[in-house]
Structure 1
Amino acid sequence: MMEEFASYMELMVKCIIVYFVIIFALRLMGKREVGELSVFDVVIYLVMSELLAISITDTHSSIFRSLVPIAVLALMQIAISWILLKSKRIRDLFDGKAVILIRDGCIDQQMMRKERYSIDDLMSQLHGKDLSSPDEVAFAILENNGTLSILPKKSCRVRYPHPLISDGVIDREVLRSIGKDREWLIQQLGKQGTTAEAVFLCLYQKDGLFVIRRQLH
C-alpha cells in the first residue's frame, strides 16, 4: 500500500515538474501563437513533449535525465531562431516561402497544384472573407504557416504583397515579379534620401514606395 502511494506521489511530482519545465522552455524560446509556428518549431515541441512523456511514464529513471536533452533543444531553437532572424535565405529554407494563389483576380492554377490547394478550399476561404468571386481579390497569399491571407481589391493599397526589402536585404525575386530591377529600386530610395542597407521594410504601394528605416543600435 505504501509503495503504491509513493508511486502516485512520484507521478504527481513529475507532472508538476513537467508543467513548470514546459512553461519555462516556451518562455525561453519566445512568444508565438500556435498558428505562427514554423515546421522547425513544431518539430522541437513534438520532440520535447515526447521526452517529457517518457520521463513521466518511466518509473525507473529520474525525470532530471530528460532535462538535459530538453535544455539542448531549447538552446538549439534559440540559436537557430537568431540565425533565421539574420539571414532571409536560411529563413526561407527553414520556414518556406509564401506563395501567391490569386493576383488581380487571376488564379494561379499551376501554383495551386504545386501546393496541393483545391479550388474548394480557395472558395471556402473567399466566402469566409465575405467575397463571392476571385475577381474581387487583389492578392490571395498562402503563407508559410498554411494560412491563406486575402487582400480585397477595394481595400488593397499595395501593387505587390511581398516586401522589396526586408531588414536591409533586397528581394530580387520580388523585383522580377513586378518587372523592376535593383537599379530602379536604388534610384527610388535615393529620392527618399536613403539606401537599401538602411531600410527595415520596403513595400511597393500604389502611391509609391512605403519605407521604414532601420533603427540604429
Structure 2
Amino acid sequence: MEWLQVIVGPDNGTPSVAQFCARAVILFLYGILCIRIAGRRTFSNLSPLDIIVAIVVGSNISRAMTGKAPFVATIVATLLLVVLHRLVARATVHANWLGRLVKGKPVTLVRDGQIDRVAMRRQDISDEDLLEGLRLKRAEHPSDVRLATFERGGKISVVPK
C-alpha cells in the first residue's frame, strides 16, 4: 500500500498537485466503475434510494479527492455502498414486498376522469402538477383520462379514455 500512498499522497489534505491529479484520474475511473456496478437504472429513473446513493457516492469521491477522508478506506466503503445498492435493487425484482418497502407503490390519481384529491394530497401533488403530467401525455383534462397513476419512479403515467 505504500506505492499507493506515494501516488495519491497523504490523507491529511496536503497532497501535491501531481498527487491531486493522480487522485482525479483514479477517482474518475473509480466513478465509472461504480456506475457500471450500480447499473444504468441508478442514474436514469431515480428512486429516492438511487438519489441518496448517488449523492453519497459523489460526496465520498469528493472527500477522497480533496484528502478530507482516508483515500483507500473511503473508496472501499463507497464500493460497498454501491454493491449493496445493486444487491437491494436486484432483490426488489424477486421480492415484491421489498420493492414496495424500498421503492414505494404506485398511487392512482385519476380514475375514469375523477380526481382522487386525497391521494394527491398524500403525495404532495398540486392540481397544476397533475395537469402538467396529463399534458405531457397529451391529455388536456382529467375527463380525458381513464387512469392516471403516480408511479414509483416519481412520474405520472396516463391511460387515455
TM interval, shorter chain, is 0.7 to 0.9
Mark the runs of 5 or more structure 2 residues left unpaired by the alignment.
1-14
Aligned to 1:32: 41
Aligned to 2:156: 148
Counterparts of 2:42 and 2:53, CA distance in 1: 15
Is the counterpart of residue 47 in structure 1 residue 50 in structure 2?
A: no
Q: 2:110, 2:116 within 8 Å by CA — same for their partners in 1?
A: yes
Counterparts of 1:75 and 1:18, CA distance in 2: 17
Q: 1:35, 1:145 within 8 Å by CA — same for their partners in 2?
A: no
Is the counterpart of residue 80 in structure 1 residue 88 in structure 2?
A: yes
Relative CO higher for 1 or 2, CA cutoff 8 Å, sep ≥ 6?
2
Counting helix residues as a fraction of each chain, which structure ranks higher? 2
Q: 1:95, 1:144 within 8 Å by CA — same for their partners in 2?
A: yes
Instruction: Please list, as runs of the form range in 1=range in 2, the aligned pairs for 1:6-21 lying within 5 A after superposition.
Output: 7-21=16-30
Deviates most, 132-141 or 32-41: 32-41
| 1:114 corresponds to which of 122, 126, 135 | 122
**Pair member with larger Rg:** 1
The aligned length equals 147
Aligned to 1:124: 132
Q: 2:114, 2:142 within 8 Å by CA — same for their partners in 1?
A: yes
Displacement of 1:29 after TM fit?
1.8
Counting strand residues as a fraction of each chain, which structure ranks higher? 1
Instruction: Please list, as runs of the form range in 1=range in 2, the aligned pairs for 1:57-68 lying within 5 A after superposition.
Output: 57-58=66-67, 63-68=71-76
Counterparts of 2:138 and 2:90, CA distance in 1: 39
User: C-alpha root-mean-square deviation of aligned residues, in Å?
Assistant: 1.8
Mark the runs of 5 or more structure 1 residues left unpaired by the alignment.
1-5, 154-217
SS at match of 1:151: strand
1:159-212 deviations in whole A, cap 9, x for unaligned? xxxxxxxxxxxxxxxxxxxxxxxxxxxxxxxxxxxxxxxxxxxxxxxxxxxxxx
